[in-house]
Amino acid sequence: MSMHNPAHPGKVLKELWLEPLGLTLTQAAMRLGVTRKRYPRSSMHMEHYA
């Protein structure tokens, strides 16, 4: 059985959220009220800001 190699969360966030909304990672983090470094861990809350 071969192993599944899932997409990196950062790539998913970039393609599904950041690019369509025209946001940079820094802008998204600021809107969420988190540091840029912490942003990927807080991404589950992003739907509130879409």
Residue 28 exposed, middle or buried by CB count within 10 Å (0-12, 13-18, 19+) = buried
What local confidence, expressed as pLDDT, does residue 40 receive? 56
Q: What's the confidence (pLDDT) of residue 13?
A: 84
Q: 10 Å Cβ neighbour count for 46? A: 18
| pLDDT value at residue 14 | 85
Tens of pLDDT, residues 23-38: 988 898 888 888 877 6
The pTM of the full predicted model, rounded to 2 decimals, is: 0.56
- Tokens 């790539």, residue located: 11
Does 19 have pLDDT greater than 80?
Answer: yes
What was the pLDDT predicted at 22? 95
